Structure 1
Amino acid sequence: MTKRSLLAAVAALALPAPAAAQNAPVQPAGRRAAPPAAQPVDPAVARLRDAALNDTVAYDILEGITTEVGQRLAATEAEARARTWAVAKLRSLGFRNVHIETYRMPVWLRGQETAEVVSPFPQRLSLVALGNSGATPEAGVTAPVAVFRTFGELQAAPAGSLTGKIAYIGNAMEPAQDGSSYGAFGAARFVGPALAASKGAVAVVIRSVGTDAHRNPHTGGTNWPTGVQPIPAAALSVSDALLLERMAARGRPITLHLTLTPHFAGEGESGNVVAEVPGSDPAAGIVLIGGHLDSWDLGQGAIDDGAGIAITTAAAKHLLDGPRPRRTIRVVWFGAEEPGGFGGREYARVHGAERHATAQESDFGADRVWRFEVNLPAGASVVTDRLQSALAPLGITRGRDPAGDGTDVGPTIALGVGSVDLNQDGTRYFDTHHTPDDTLERIDPAQLRQNVAAWTTMLAIVANAPEEIGPVPHRN
């Protein structure tokens, strides 16, 4: 997913011009420098792009996995069924070298989840446990609530001030095309529970990190640093979180009864499903693409991330059915992304020594691609120019930030591998992200096809580029 902060994007817009540009001749008033000449689009690339606008493969994959498998919680029997389904589907589509690469990881399972305001205004609340949450006793816990409308307010709370209390953490997430609110306000979920625990809280409830106003709470993982004992941690629906804040505004103490009984069930097996479109030049490097196979357990895993595996696989299929590309295209349906990126790290461990030209993933739903960004070596700058010309008819413009976004491909990119990001419109993504509403009905088939066309175009150019696509500087 594209999760860069809005501040970073604003800062990028305000960066001073490069030295060469600062020394460029000043244009006379009323005249502007002509833009660089557009690269001609290879007719073969244009044909592939336009044919992909009528793609049916992506929707078939997405409809199949949501119907025949459904939710795919990491390292559970459901994710294992999904891997079996994936192998059969990829082989039926004609991909080569289809196989599963397994690994072991901790298994977290959801339990009972209830909450109600005991006083001053008794009401039941809608919530779900966060991934990696600790548990209450079976009978639950009853405690006063300390209300923090922002993560910053929680940070300012003195040490020990939450002893014996349930912390509530709010946020002000709003829709954004680039999804930047997720990074800006996600701290309430990512690290808020651990911070509250370090200050003595017995449990935490947060306002869901989402942009809807429904009573569907958003789950998602939270992190516990070494030395911090996990405590019960849950997300309230946005509506219920705002209800709790309105109660607090009346100035009377709030007491909450909370029951959460998730547990860790030892170790289980997850795995990455790998398939390939073989290339003609093994020395030219691998073009790695994919998304994550696992999902949270509340919905069907359609936007997160059935769409991503469907889009990238369908695009690769368009290359598979044509002339053999120069570079091997490797499609990976990564396992266990949601609980902490296990599949991406395992792929880099196993395959990091192999020559990769680029690595990129789709993990931001299925709404239209509106921008692309690159991180390629200087010698491959003409590849960027080709992408710009070929993607423009799809309404896709070139961004200014370096590419390299994604939990699953991040560990591979960190080894010095280049990338091309195809940024999707995230305006409505966080309405249903990690909720029971993550279902097939959230997918717009026309926008799904535009995604496939964008990815097909990118693959047709990058996988066949005659230029060397070598390493880029390593990332920390």
Structure 2
Amino acid sequence: MKKLLLPLVLMTAASGASDDSKSATNDFYTTDFLDQVATLRDHALTDPLAYDITESLTTEVGARLAGSPGDAKAVAWGEAKFKSLGFDRVTLEAAPLKRWVRGVETAEIISPFKQTLTITALGKSSPTPNEGITGEVVHFNTIDELKSADPALVKGKITFISNRMERHKDGSGYGKAVGARSTTAQVTAAKGGIGAIIRSIGTDNNRTPHTGAMKYEADVAAVPAGAISNPDADLLVNMLNRGKPVTLKYTLGSRFDGDYVSHNVIGDIIGSEKPDEYIVIGCHLDSWDLGTGAIDDASGCGITMAAAKLIKDHIGQPKRTIRVVLWANEENGLSGAKAYHEAHKEEMKQHIFGGESDFGAGTIYAFGTRMDEKAMPLVHEMMQLLQPLGIEYAGNEASSGADLIPMRAAGMAVFGLKQDGTKYFDYHHTANDTLDKIDPKELAQNVAAWVVVTALSANTSENFGFDLSDK
């Protein structure tokens, strides 16, 4: 990862007009306030609130696929939890979506050697016929190989893409591999194939397949698509390498099931001076249905809800409103993000700075921003309090979370607190996404970092963002 140092001139500006390190104030914050934040940061390292919230969501609700009964339970849980934590205002905002449901999932190699495989449907996949799909497998190493293949090679067959995701601390292997999941079903259909199977987009060797959304457009043909576990993908490759035709049968009952209205759940700690300016943090409330959605993304809910609660209780009412959003249907279409932007598009200038926790609960090692360069002195102030947590600055090109994409596109400044994702994709989108994968100490370190960034963002009058006058 490319690390950037803050320019010396900005560091000097951030320290205020006086060179006296004991000065009562700098350009942005009083020394007393910075001491308060540092004390709360240290307290957060042993505070159990984030873990308690995460445990509550995974135990009392569990799986919460958008549009499912678990989704409705999660919305009710979020509303009740915000109220019990003492948030000043709790709001539900509608997020319409197309409900997708999972059904039967089976797969087996028919020949040359009969074997049962573990499979899961990709999100938005259409169903197979009731009797399943049976066909010869045609193997491609990558999605690009499939895209360039002669349609005659694919016609009437089941495509199989075997590319393996690479393990990286920053999760960058995901972007390189996930195209196989996103577009295989459409490319296969366009070339006359009858079905599509991929190696799971994950870094584990467990026999637990990884689900995840595929690209879906109502007017574009796509075949039923599923992911098989990594060990089963190895098995299938081994058979194909013997040079004999491999016949596969699989059945998926997944399908769209009408319209549904979920909700973003919003908890506000209302600002004392600028109540209509928002520091937006949060998580996505939905999860895939295979596990209990602990790392993806109950932990993000626990981290951000706890950070806001601790700031209110230990520092007091912020100057700007801290808005915690539990986003609806991030996994299968960003329905909540799109609905929020539509509902608040005339207020985008009032959305000052935002970030989402959606990469598990691993230790935070870097802090990145995407904001006006004029606000860089504020980053220096944040880094003074983040560095004791082992966090370095990662530059001004952060992307933050997926749910902030519409607001970021509209000009809102964003930040990203980068978590160690070395093990994240072992469990991501699988039945193994459960509470035991979360280390309470690492989770607490996340809260400490979020406390620093959120408290300092909400207690300055400086503007982090870009000029929206031409938007």
Using the size of structure 2 for normalisation, the TM-score is 0.91
Partner of 2:338: 345
Partner of 1:196: 188
- What is the distance in 2 between the residues matched to 1:47 and 1:309? 23
Partner of 1:379: 374
How far did 1:254 drift? 0.4
Partner of 2:365: 370
- What is the distance in 2 between the residues matched to 1:475 and 1:222? 35
How far did 1:376 drift? 2.1
Partners of 2:105 and 2:253 within 8 A in 1: yes
- What is the distance in 2 between the residues matched to 1:169 and 1:76? 30
How far did 1:232 drift? 1.0
5 Å matches for 1:298-447? 298-321=290-313, 322-354=315-347, 355-447=350-442
- The one of 199, 215, 219 equivalent to 2:207 is 215
Partners of 2:99 and 2:260 within 8 A in 1: yes
Partner of 1:27: none
SS at match of 1:366: coil
Q: Identity, % of aligned pairs? A: 44
5 Å matches for 1:6-45? 42-45=34-37
Q: What are structure 1's unaligned runs of at least 5 residues?
A: 1-8, 22-32
The answer to whether residue 224 in structure 2 is matched with residue 232 in structure 1 is: yes
5 Å matches for 1:124-203? 124-203=116-195
How far did 1:35 drift? 11
Q: What are structure 2's unaligned runs of at least 5 residues?
A: 16-20, 22-30
Aligned CA distance change for structure 1 residues 475 and 224 (closer, same or farther; 3 Å) = farther
Aligned CA distance change for structure 1 residues 34 and 92 (closer, same or farther; 3 Å) = closer
After TM superposition, the runs of 4+ consecutive aligned structure 1 residues lying more than 6 A away are 473-476
- What is the distance in 2 between the residues matched to 1:54 and 1:465? 27
SS at match of 1:107: strand
Q: Superposition RMSD on alpha carbons, in Å? A: 2.2
Partners of 1:286 and 1:330 within 8 A in 2: yes
Partners of 1:280 and 1:327 within 8 A in 2: yes
- What is the distance in 1 between the residues matched to 2:195 and 2:470? 37
How far did 1:260 drift? 0.9
Partners of 2:187 and 2:222 within 8 A in 1: no
How far did 1:75 drift? 1.5
Partner amino acid for 1:87? Answer: E
Partners of 2:95 and 2:328 within 8 A in 1: no
5 Å matches for 1:245-324? 245-282=237-274, 285-321=277-313, 322-324=315-317
Using the size of structure 1 for normalisation, the TM-score is 0.90
Deviates more, 1:134-143 or 1:295-304: 134-143
SS at match of 1:191: helix
SS at match of 1:108: strand
How far did 1:289 drift? 0.5
How far did 1:253 drift? 0.6
Partner of 2:77: 85
How far did 1:470 drift? 3.7
SS at match of 1:184: helix
- CA deviations on 1:27-73 (whole Å, 9 max, x unpaired) are xxxxxx99966957721121111111112111111111111110001
Aligned CA distance change for structure 1 residues 109 and 474 (closer, same or farther; 3 Å) = farther
